[in-house]
């Protein structure tokens, strides 16, 4: 059994590693090292927590850790990068459910301590956590109850919200916003009733109040995310990441675990900041997004004129061979088709021919923040030619060819031209200003968010239909 001093020192070390990990993930060149910081920090945290003072039942803990490690390794090897967004959402749900169970257990132990005190029972009858509770004064027990309520409520919202987000990202739940009759009033009513039950609980009501709070919070999480449209799902993922962090922090306060408090606060605050940054990049109101205020139509959409004109691989290759400057705009379609390696090879051939090739990355491209950057880094695309929207948006007008691979909303001119569009006001990549635009797309559908794109009907746009990887592969042999 390790002393508390060792555990406290390990908590500080792990916290520093987590901070370094978060800081490094903002830069592609440092990302791999940052991931290792996080891995080492988590290993230190788990080891010193497991063997710290007051911890026992290793006969149960060790097998569970082994089972979890085996399952985690299996999932990590099986899950493709295209499935990473839904995996992240699923993992958030585990954190939320864990918070609910820990909070329930904490309250049961609190009640046990109070009953034992009433009977003058000895401390030797207490579990490790109950012994910790037994040292608390009455006012500290009140704070414990507040922590329990927060853990149950935030954890339950995170759980069902993450499950629905997983379903939408995996295509198992319709991506269009849907709410029950009453809409936001149902969420507000459930939140108000939860607050009333919390007050009753803090004033001595039974365990049933926590069960009802959990049930109401489960409903809020479900109904909240169901009401958010596909166009806002990247923000939803980072928002749920924040929720899971605050749920973990609540668990940390309940268990008096400083490391869990620090880690949860880091995840919660970074997730909230990322959500705000993404909302700003999408010209969204943060409060409206998290309340499901976007994703539906704002009025009659502008009528689109023209037709979608298809082109074959030969036509695209000819334009690329004649071009001096090329910008590639990747989206989730590239991830689905796993076309990143073919795109990387195309870039290599074009650059070898002396052409200027760059990538334009929208902040919410894909279904997870940084999704496209990770895919391109995995395919060994040079970091210096991968540019963010603000860095490259003014260059489209002087670009010969733009290739859009599986993107819809982030290159949709309706965001600037149609005030009734669901994405009106959202900053987008102005690809239509280039001399020629080729859109790699499976078919004529409206994409995940269900929003029509006038770009596909413009005179300088040609539709390069087919699977993105096969389409790009068909170009490789025709590039001079």
- Of 27, 58, 78, which one is at a domain's C-terminal end? 78
- Choosing from 174, 312, 390, 409, the catalytic residue is 409
Question: What is the tens place of the pLDDT at every residue in 384-420?
Answer: 899 999 899 999 999 999 999 988 888 999 888 888 8
Residue 254 pLDDT > 70, yes or no? yes
Alpha-helical regions (H) of 329-460? 332-337, 340-352, 371-378, 389-392, 414-417
Same domain, 48 and 123: no
Torsions phi, psi for 190 (to 5 deg) = -65, -40
Residues 231 and 334 in one domain: no
- The answer to whether 391 touches 318, Cβ cutoff 8 Å, is no
Indicate if 363 and 400 belong to the same structural domain: yes
- Verify that 280 and 346 share a domain, yes or no: no
In a domain, 136, yes or no: yes
**pLDDT score of 297:** 46
- What is the number of structural domains in the chain? 3
Q: What is the pTM of this model?
A: 0.76
Asked if the model's pLDDT at residue 299 lies above 80, the reply is no
Residue 82: is its pLDDT beyond 80? no
Is there a domain that residue 295 lies in? Answer: no
The confidence score (pLDDT) of residue 294 equals 43
Residues 433 and 401 in one domain: yes
* Percent of the chain with pLDDT strictly greater than 90: 32
- Give the residue numbers spanning the domain of 170: 81-290
Q: Is residue 400 part of a domain?
A: yes
* Secondary structure (3-state) at 394: helix
Contact predicate 302/414, CB 8 Å = yes
Out of 62, 78, 94, a domain closes at: 78
- Return the sign of the alpha-carbon dihedral for residues 152, 153, 154, 155: positive
pLDDT, tens only, 20-54: 888 777 666 677 788 899 999 999 988 888 887 77
Residues 210 and 330 in one domain: no
Exposed e or buried b per residue across 418-455, where buried means at least 16 C-beta atoms within 10 angstroms of its C-beta: beebbbbebbbbbbbbbebbbbbbeeeeebbbbbbbbb
Does 273 share its domain with 374?
A: no
Mean of pLDDT values over 460-473: 92
- Residue 75 pLDDT exceeds 50: yes
Residues 256 and 343 in one domain: no
> What is the rounded average pLDDT of the residues 451-457?
87
**Domain assignment of residue 200, yes or no:** yes
The answer to whether 480 is a known catalytic residue is no
Rounded to the nearest 5°, which phi and psi values hold at 295? Answer: 110, -10
Cβ partners under 8 Å of residue 3, min gap 6:
53
Residue 227 confidence (pLDDT) = 82
- C-alpha 2/C-alpha 8 separation (Å) is 10
Highest mean pLDDT among 56-60, 248-252, 323-327: 323-327
| Residues 199 and 150 both lie in one domain | yes
> Residue 60, exposed/middle/buried by CB under 10 A (0-12, 13-18, 19+)?
exposed
Mean pLDDT of the chain: 83
Q: What is the CATH number of the domain that holds 404?
A: 3.40.50.1220
Q: How confident is the model at residue 130 (pLDDT cuts 50, 70, 90)?
A: low
Task: Say yes or no: 108 and 2 in one domain.
Answer: no
Boundary-marking domain end, from 23, 51, 78: 78
Task: Please tell me the distance from the alpha carbon of residue 116 to that of residue 473, in angstroms, as a whole number.
Answer: 72
Examine residue 298 and state whether it is found in any structural domain, yes or no.
Answer: no
For residues 437 and 349, membership in a common domain is answered with yes
In a domain, 59, yes or no: yes
Q: How far apart are CA 301 and CA 272, in angstroms?
A: 32
Q: Are residues 52 and 85 in the same domain?
A: no
């Amino acid at each position: 059994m390790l002393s508390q001093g060792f555990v406290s020192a390990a908590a500080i070390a792990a916290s520093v590693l987590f901070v370094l990990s978060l800081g490094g993930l903002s830069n592609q060149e440092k990302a791999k090292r940052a991931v290792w910081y996080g891995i080492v920090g988590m290993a230190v945290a788990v080891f010193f927590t497991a063997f710290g003072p007051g911890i026992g039942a290793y006969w149960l803990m060790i097998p569970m850790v082994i089972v979890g490690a085996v399952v985690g390794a299996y999932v990590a090897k099986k899950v493709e990068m295209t499935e990473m967004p839904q995996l992240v959402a699923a993992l958030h749900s585990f954190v939320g459910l864990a918070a609910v169970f820990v909070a329930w257990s904490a309250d049961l132990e609190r009640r046990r301590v109070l009953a034992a005190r009433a009977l003058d029972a000895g401390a030797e009858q207490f579990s490790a956590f109950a012994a910790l509770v037994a040292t608390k004064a009455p006012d500290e027990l009140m704070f414990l109850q507040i922590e329990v309520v927060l853990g149950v409520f935030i954890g339950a919202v995170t759980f069902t919200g993450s499950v629905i987000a997983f379903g939408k990202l995996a295509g198992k739940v319709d991506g269009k916003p849907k709410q029950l009759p009453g809409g936001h009033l149902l969420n507000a009513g459930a939140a108000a009733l939860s607050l009333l039950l919390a007050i009753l609980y803090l004033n001595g009501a039974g365990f049933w109040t926590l069960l009802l709070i959990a049930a109401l919070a489960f409903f809020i999480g479900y109904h909240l995310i169901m009401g958010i449209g596909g166009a806002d799902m990247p923000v939803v993922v980072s928002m749920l990441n924040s929720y899971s962090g605050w749920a973990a922090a609540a668990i940390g306060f309940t268990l008096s675990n400083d490391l869990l408090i620090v880690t949860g606060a880091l995840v919660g605050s970074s997730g909230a900041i990322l959500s705000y940054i993404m909302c700003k990049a999408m010209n969204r109101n943060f409060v409206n997004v998290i309340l499901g205020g976007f994703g539906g139509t704002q009025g009659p959409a502008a009528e689109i004129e023209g037709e979608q004109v298809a082109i074959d691989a030969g036509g695209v290759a000819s334009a690329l061979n004649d071009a001096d400057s090329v910008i590639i705009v990747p989206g989730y379609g590239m991830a689905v088709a796993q076309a990143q390696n073919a795109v990387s090879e195309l870039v290599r051939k074009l650059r070898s021919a002396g052409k200027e090739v760059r990538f334009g990355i929208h902040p919410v491209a894909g279904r997870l923040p940084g999704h496209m950057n990770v895919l391109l880094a995995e395919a060994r695309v040079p970091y210096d030619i991968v540019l963010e929207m603000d860095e490259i948006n003014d260059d489209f007008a002087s670009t010969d060819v733009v290739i859009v691979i599986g993107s819809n909303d982030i290159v949709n001119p309706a965001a600037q031209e149609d005030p009734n569009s669901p994405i009106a006001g959202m900053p987008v990549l102005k690809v239509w200003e280039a001399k020629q635009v080729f859109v790699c797309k499976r078919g004529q559908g409206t994409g995940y968010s269900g929003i029509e794109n006038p770009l596909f009907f413009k005179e300088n746009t040609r539709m390069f239909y087919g699977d993105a990887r096969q389409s790009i592969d068909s170009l490789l042999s025709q590039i001079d």
